Amino acid sequence: MDEASRGAPWLSIIGLGEDGLAGLGEAARAALAGAGTVFGGARHLRLAAGGITGMAQSWPSPFSVAPVLALRGQAVAVLASGDPMWHGVGATLLRDIPAGEARVFPQASAASLAAARMGWPLAEVTVLSLHARDPALLRPHLHPGARLILLTSDAAQPAAIAALLAAEGFATSAITVLEALGGSDERLRHATAAAFDLDGIHPLNTLAIEVLAGPDARWLPRAPGLPDDLFQHDGQLTKREVRAITLAALRPFPGALLWDVGAGAGSIGIEWMLAHPACRAIGIEVRADRAARAEANARALGVPGLRLVSGEAPAAFAGLPPPDALFLGGGANDPCVFDAALAALKRGGVFVANAVTLETEALLLARHAALGGELLRIGLSRAVAVGGMTGWRPAMPVTQWVWHKP
């Protein structure tokens, strides 16, 4: 029986700091010297060159761990930045091989080094990787007094992030650019978002941001039910209070997938994804203009990963991964769409449909009679001016059916 089949460690995943070999412990140095093949980026291979005795192998382009897996059972080392299990290649590799086949030698992560330099308790800081990711992901984390540590992609990204902060009303936020942490070129420089003018930034940089809100800043509350005016829409919008009740019924959890059928402005899918960074959503919308508007709303509110499918249900369901939860906002009055949506839902999933017309309400009542579940009547009134006084103006009542698929 060979080593791979026994699960013996054959792979060493070694974290490097900017101080290279000097920062490695004795065990990590021995693992590096004992590897017949060493994989890494050009910078990592250069930093560790004095300790490599085997063949140095650069990563292929586009990036793939397949060359490492092809040498399974042989003595292989992989070099990574800092902690390989934190937004690193170690996490990628250990999705494909059992943990017992690898030894991981972590160094301090960029977040740990940045927190140490700033004197910030790491447990009280939000750490976000924007490396090769849309800076719009920062939007949900902008609120007064927040402390953020951001991993960036390159020398240009700090200015782009400063511009985003200024545009969203956080112009006086304090930004520290921490360059080449742990190495001989380490440098810390400071600026505000509005007056960000730092140049010659090292491509290996991390940002520490103390968020300060100006009078025009609009931050996103943590509770469901965002203000309606945060969404661009043409009237096709699940209103704030009903949206909050609907999200509570849908019960988002990390990693879960939602289908928002009849997405309109995308508000349900957007708030589902805001519930946790791992939540996923697909919006299905027959009108291309509404789908485009929902996509724009998603990016503006910090969830650019919302997937929009422009097409008519139920045909648009074809090929989509089955959902853990499904909200039927548009098409609830069509029995064919209703049946196809119920069939698509995973076992154990939750189905929520809202009705404002008598015809759609009759369909919900029939489904409730046949399948069970919960019915809820939502009635809201708003105070409005009546002449020189104030009175209540009722909104159209909403009937909601919630069903858990056995």
- Domain with residue 130: its CATH number is 3.30.950.10
What does each C-alpha distance from 388 to 221, 385, 394 come to in angstroms? Answer: 34, 7, 19
> For residue 331, what pLDDT is reported?
66
Looking at the structure, do residues 41 and 131 belong to the same domain, yes or no? no
Q: How far apart are CA 375 and CA 364, in angstroms?
A: 8
**pLDDT tens per residue, range 145-186:** 999 999 999 999 999 999 999 999 999 999 999 999 999 999
pLDDT of 3: 42
Q: Which of 107, 129, 157 is the last residue of a domain?
A: 107
**Cis before 314? omega within 30:** yes
pTM of the model: 0.90
* Interior angle at CA 16, CA 12 and CA 21, nearest 5: 95
User: What is the domain extent for residue 294?
Assistant: 228-404
Same domain, 97 and 244: no
Task: Give the pLDDT confidence score for residue 379 in this predicted structure.
Answer: 94
Task: Confirm whether 216 is domain-assigned.
Answer: no
Residues 177 and 242 in one domain: no
Query: In terms of domains, do 313 and 355 share one?
Result: yes
CATH number reported for the structural domain that contains residue 76 in this entry: 3.40.1010.10
Both 247 and 307 in one domain: the answer is: yes
Half-sphere exposure in the Cβ direction for 201 (13 Å, CA): 25
Whether 75 and 192 share a structural domain: no
- Residue 2: what pLDDT? 44
- Number of domains observed in the structure of the chain: 3
Helix or strand or coil: residue 335?
helix
Task: Tell me if 315 is assigned to some domain.
Answer: yes
pLDDT band for position 332 (50/70/90)? confident
The rounded distance, in Å, linking the Cα atoms of 260 and 224 is 16
Same domain, 261 and 373: yes
CA–CA separation, 227 vs 205, rounded Å? 36
The vertex-97 CA angle with 92 and 102, nearest 5°, equals 90
- Checking if the pLDDT of 137 tops 60, the result is yes
**Are 187 and 144 in a shared domain?**
yes
Residue-level pLDDT at 329: 83
The secondary structure of 90-143 as a DSSP string is: HHHHTTTS-GGGEEEE----HHHHHHHHHT--GGGSEEEE-TTS-GGGGGGG--
- 354 and 232: one domain? yes
Residues facing 205 on adjacent strands: 179
Cα 281 from Cα 326, distance rounded (Å): 10
Decide if 162 is inside a domain: yes
CATH code where residue 303 lies: 3.40.50.150
Residue 246 is which amino acid?
Answer: T
String of DSSP letters for 129-186: E-TTS-GGGGGGG--TT-EEEEE-SSSSHHHHHHHHHHHTT-TT-EEEEEESTTSTT-
- Going by pLDDT thresholds of 50, 70 and 90, the confidence category of residue 4 is very low
Is the predicted pLDDT of residue 7 greater than 80, yes or no?
Answer: no
